[in-house]
């Protein structure tokens, strides 16, 4: 099976009636102007080669509220991308938008142009946190949009943020939003830690001491728990952490950014699971079996998990097993 990928096309802040206190999509994406339909065609023509059997790609419009942009402009972008869906060079089109920018008319238009997946920038399900961050929508808007999207037959993605301004306890807030997401049964989830970007209101709040972001260790621990929670409920997390980009890094003032944040979070999952089983085995030498392709994640970045358990007096031997999947592990004691 070919690995799924997105051909991402950014329309920074287009369709956003207000600016969230943490947001600067130009800095996040490194894109400062919106694309013309001709640019979409050129990019797709370059990045979606023949033969089509060699890839499984969706054309993805990110960085703005797609269904809230000028209708004629939205249709022109969809029309430019849809050619490649009709030719079979892309599996479909993915868009991201706001929960309060979903209605029956927009969904009908999306479906007619080969859109298969819709991601909602929900971020939190706490109305006070949404208000404090000037999101411009409510928890009820999220629930209503999810219902409409599912009834129309689209694949549903939900995006959440951890460590948001206004949350009294970051971990408790994250687990509450995750539980609400699980109840909504999305197909996919993205998890982003809040970082402080230049030229945002959150930067001002940070400088006056009204907001203290998560540190990297805290963020990794929370996201590791979220990964386990979503995995246990059969929901795929398709991204954790912000895309690593020099433009973004130059604009980060504070917060838990790391270019390999996803790897750190995955390693955190394995550390939690292995530690629990190691305590049960009470052995100083253990073999840990993980799913195929997961050995490096279980070992941790720069062998962080191996070194962690060595400090606890436990030597790990990590091997892969075709019988396991996802985060499943199997531990066996080695002879002393």
- Chain centre distance of CA 247: 19
Residue 265 within any structural domain of the chain? no
- Residue 336 banded pLDDT, cuts 50, 70, 90: low
Given 226, 259, 292, which residue is the final one in a domain?
A: 259
pLDDT of 169 = 97
- CATH code for the domain of 23: 3.20.20.70
Cβ neighbours of 335 (radius 10 Å): 5
- Residue 134 banded pLDDT, cuts 50, 70, 90: very high
Same domain, 287 and 218: no
Number of domains in the chain: 2
Q: What digits encode the pLDDT tens for the residues 187-227?
A: 999 999 999 999 999 999 999 999 999 999 999 999 999 99
Given 259, 289, 309, which residue is the final one in a domain?
A: 259
Kind of pairing between the strands at 285-291 and 252-254: unpaired
Query: Is 273 a residue whose pLDDT tops 60?
Result: yes
In this prediction, residues 235-253 reach a mean pLDDT of 88
Residue 271 within any structural domain of the chain? no
Same domain, 167 and 305: no
Secondary structure (3-state) at 290: strand
Residue 297 within any structural domain of the chain? yes
- Residue 152 banded pLDDT, cuts 50, 70, 90: very high
Same domain, 200 and 312: no
CB 162 within 8 A of CB 214: yes
Helix, strand, coil % in the chain, rounded to nearest 5: 45, 20, 35
Residue 87 within any structural domain of the chain? yes
Query: Is 53 a residue whose pLDDT tops 90?
Result: no
pLDDT of 277 = 85
Among 186, 178, 188, CA closest to 224 = 178
Mean pLDDT of the chain: 91
Same domain, 159 and 28: yes
pLDDT of 1 = 38
CA separation for the pair 2, 92 (Å, rounded):
15
Same domain, 291 and 239: no
Residue 270 within any structural domain of the chain? no
- CATH code for the domain of 285: 3.30.300
Query: Is 28 a residue whose pLDDT tops 80?
Result: no
Among 264, 261, 278, 262, CA closest to 313 = 278
Same domain, 296 and 153: no
Among 34, 100, 104, 99, CA closest to 63 = 34
CA separation for the pair 307, 286 (Å, rounded):
14
Residue 264 within any structural domain of the chain? no
pLDDT of 249 = 86
Ramachandran angles phi, psi of 113, nearest 5°: -110, 25
Exposure pattern of 82-103 as b/e (b: 16+ CB <10 Å)?
Answer: bebbeeebbbbbbbbbbbbbbe
In this prediction, residues 226-250 reach a mean pLDDT of 90
Query: Is 153 a residue whose pLDDT tops 60?
Result: yes
Query: Is 29 a residue whose pLDDT tops 50?
Result: no
Same domain, 202 and 287: no
Give me 98's structure tokens.
């706001």
Secondary structure (3-state) at 182: helix
Q: What digits encode the pLDDT tens for the residues 281-332?
A: 777 899 999 999 999 999 999 999 999 999 999 999 999 999 999 899 998 8
Segments forming the whole domain that contains residue 325: 278-333
Same domain, 176 and 296: no
Among 249, 224, 126, 137, CA closest to 177 = 126
CB 233 within 8 A of CB 326: no
Query: Is 2 a residue whose pLDDT tops 60?
Result: no
Spell out the SS3 assignment of 121-170. EEECCCHHHHHHCCCCCCHHHHHHHHHHHHHCCCEEEEEEEECCCCCCCH
In this prediction, residues 245-263 reach a mean pLDDT of 90
CA separation for the pair 76, 67 (Å, rounded):
13
Same domain, 111 and 227: yes
Same domain, 246 and 202: yes
Model-level pTM? 0.91
Residue 217 within any structural domain of the chain? yes
Same domain, 131 and 232: yes
Which letter does DSSP use for residue 326 in this model?
T
pLDDT of 74 = 96
In this prediction, residues 157-185 reach a mean pLDDT of 98
Same domain, 282 and 250: no
């Amino acid at each position: 099976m070919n690995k799924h990928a997105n051909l991402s096309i950014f329309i920074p802040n287009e369709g956003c009636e207000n600016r969230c206190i943490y947001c600067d999509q130009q800095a996040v994406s490194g894109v400062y102007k919106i694309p013309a339909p001709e640019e979409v065609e050129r990019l797709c023509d370059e990045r979606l080669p023949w033969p089509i059997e060699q890839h499984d790609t969706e054309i993805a419009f990110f960085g703005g509220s797609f269904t809230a942009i000028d209708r004629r402009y939205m249709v022109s972008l969809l029309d430019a991308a849809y050619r490649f869906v009709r030719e079979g060079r892309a599996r479909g089109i993915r868009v991201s938008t706001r929960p309060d920018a979903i209605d029956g008319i927009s969904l009908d238009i999306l479906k007619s142009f080969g859109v298969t997946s819709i991601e909602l920038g929900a971020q939190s399900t706490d109305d006070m946190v949404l208000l404090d961050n000037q999101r411009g929508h409510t928890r009820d808007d999220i629930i209503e949009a999810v219902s409409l999207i599912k009834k129309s037959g689209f694949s549903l993605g939900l995006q959440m943020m951890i460590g948001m301004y206004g949350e009294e306890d970051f971990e408790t807030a994250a687990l509450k939003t995750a539980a609400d997401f699980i109840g909504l049964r999305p197909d996919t989830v993205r998890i982003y830690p809040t970082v402080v970007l230049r030229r945002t209101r959150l930067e001002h709040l940070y400088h006056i001491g009204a907001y203290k972001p998560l540190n990297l260790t805290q963020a990794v621990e929370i996201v590791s728990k979220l990964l386990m929670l979503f995995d246990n409920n059969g929901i795929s997390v398709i991204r954790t952490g912000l895309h690593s980009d020099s433009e973004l890094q130059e604009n980060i003032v504070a917060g838990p950014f790391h270019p390999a944040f996803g790897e750190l979070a995955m390693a955190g999952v394995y550390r939690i699971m292995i530690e629990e089983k190691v305590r049960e085995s009470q052995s100083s030498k253990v073999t840990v079996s993980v799913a195929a392709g997961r050995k490096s994640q279980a070992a941790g970045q720069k062998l962080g998990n191996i070194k962690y358990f060595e400090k606890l007096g436990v030597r790990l031997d990590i091997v892969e097993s075709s019988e396991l999947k996802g985060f499943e592990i199997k531990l066996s004691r080695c002879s002393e």
